[in-house]
Each structure stands twice: as C-alpha cells, then as structure tokens.
Amino acid sequence: MYAPERQQEILRLARESGRVDVLSLAEEFQVTAETVRRDLKALDRAGLVRRVHGGAIPAGRLDFEPDLAERDAVAADEKQRIARAALAELPGGDGPRSIILDAGTTAARLAAELPLEAELTVVTHGLPVAARLADHPGLTLHLVGGRIRHRTRAAVDDWALRAYREINADVLFLAANGFSPDGGLTTPDLAEAAVKRAMIAAARRVVLLADAAKFGQRHFARFGELADVDVLITDTGLSPQDALAIERAGTEVVRV
C-alpha cells in the first residue's frame, strides 16, 4: 500500500471511530510506528486530523477534550520553553504583587518554575497548579473553589465566578484550547469558558500561554478575543507570518 492510500484509510478509520492510535495502526498496516506518525503528521498538516498523544482525532471534533495526562504529554518540550519564558512576565516592583494562574498544563509547568525567592500572591482554580505551589515558601496561595471538572481538575460554576469577581490581579497567565484572529479564544466547555472570562476581567494584564498547535483550532465555547491578550507566548511552530498578523492586531507575540 502506498502512503497516500494508507493515509486515506487512516482518515476513514478516524472518522468512523472518532480516534485512532499509532500502535494499532502500525499493526493493522504492518508498518513501523514511525511510519504511522509520519502519516498522521501529513494528515494533520492537511487539516484532516488533529494529532493527540498516542494517535489522532478527526478535525472538527469541537467537543473533544483530552484528559490532563494526554494534554501534558502533547508538545511537552514546547510547553516547558513557554513556561520558562513566562517568568519574564511576572509582575515587578517593590509593593504587593499578584497573579492568576489558569488550570492548563502549561500553567502548571509555570507553577513548577516559579523561583523559590519569588514573593507573590497567587490565585488559581486549578487543583494541579495549587498542589505544585502549596509548599512554596514565598507565596500567598488562594485556591478558588467550586464544582471540580474531572477532566481538567478545575473549579467552575458560581463559586469560582464569584471569587474572581472579587479580586484585581496584576497578571493573568491564561490557557486556551484554541486561538486565532477570527475564532478568538476557545475551549470545549461552557463552564470553563465562563471562568476564563471572569479571570480576564480580574487582571490588569493578560498573558496567553499556548503552543502553536492550538493556533487555528476552534472549540465549542468562545470566551474572548485575541485583542483581550496583551502577550502571547508560544513556540516557533507559529509561523512568522501568523505572528506578524497577530501583532498587527495589537497582541505582542513571543516565540520560543
């Protein structure tokens, strides 16, 4: 079977079952896992599938939301570079400083990178983020409560919304499942979208942490525009042309 034929069959299987995994495809087509990964990469570039940890899903599944383990494993190196670059966006000055950390996997990596000498007030509704910061000696940590979504370990609904309405933070480190000039900032879940809107309103400065694979992705719930973001920190997978288009709309872009 030639590569285009195999890729067409992979696409058919993805659309039928909603997901394909590398090892099963390698066994079915009697090829190496690396060959399958090249096929998925080609289909991803063509906009026909979206690669996820261990496989791919068909493009257009706006309701798809991988769990934390899957999301943390995708673009891991890029997320680590983004988290380290985000340290430059921590608020400065001698007075009290405060940040909000969203519940995304890149935000959790940023939490792990906060230096021990940092003295900040940190607010988060993400359980993994709070767990990483609970023993940090220089932080005043506030954990926002609410209903916990099992897939993201994030607090949502009225308790969380009320808490974010009551604060004014210096910087928000925001996560999104998809972003684009036309599609704005999106995520699969309406409840999480509402919390993200409340966080944006609660911060004087918004820093979006998003790997380039999320560019152009559109999910069900829209919670903001790229114009709401002061700085986008992403990886070099975002083309210079796309970065320039975003900057022309008023958002600074940092590619790492």
List, for residues 136-194, the tens digit of each pLDDT value: 999 999 999 999 998 899 999 999 999 999 999 999 999 999 999 999 999 989 999 99
CA dist 214 and 50 (Å) reads: 10
Q: Do 212 and 100 share a structural domain?
A: yes
pLDDT number for residue 125: 98
Q: Do 130 and 26 share a structural domain?
A: no
Give the DSSP H/E element, type plus range, for residue 255.
strand 252-255
- DSSP for 25-72 reads HHHHHT--HHHHHHHHHHHHHTTSEEEETTEEEETT-TT----HHHHH
Reported residue count of the chain is 256
Q: Do 152 and 203 share a structural domain?
A: yes
Q: Do 166 and 40 share a structural domain?
A: no
Tell me which DSSP letter residue 208 carries.
Answer: E
Residue 90: which CATH number? 3.40.50.1360
CA dist 141 and 7 (Å) reads: 49
The pTM (predicted TM-score) of the whole model is 0.76
Domain count within the chain? 2
* Minimum mean pLDDT range among 84-88, 164-168, 217-221, 252-256: 217-221
List, for residues 189-241, the tens digit of each pLDDT value: 999 999 999 999 999 999 999 999 889 888 889 999 999 999 999 999 999 99
- 3 state DSSP class of 183: coil
Share of the chain above pLDDT 70, in %: 94
Q: pLDDT class for 17, splitting at 50, 70, 90?
A: confident
Which domain range does residue 129 map to? 75-255
Q: Do 237 and 160 share a structural domain?
A: yes
Q: Within 13 A of 226's CA, how many CA atoms are on the CB side?
A: 24
pLDDT number for residue 149: 93
Is residue 103 assigned to a domain?
Answer: yes
Sheet bearing 120-124, strands edge to edge: 139-143, 120-124, 98-101, 169-174, 203-209, 231-234, 252-255
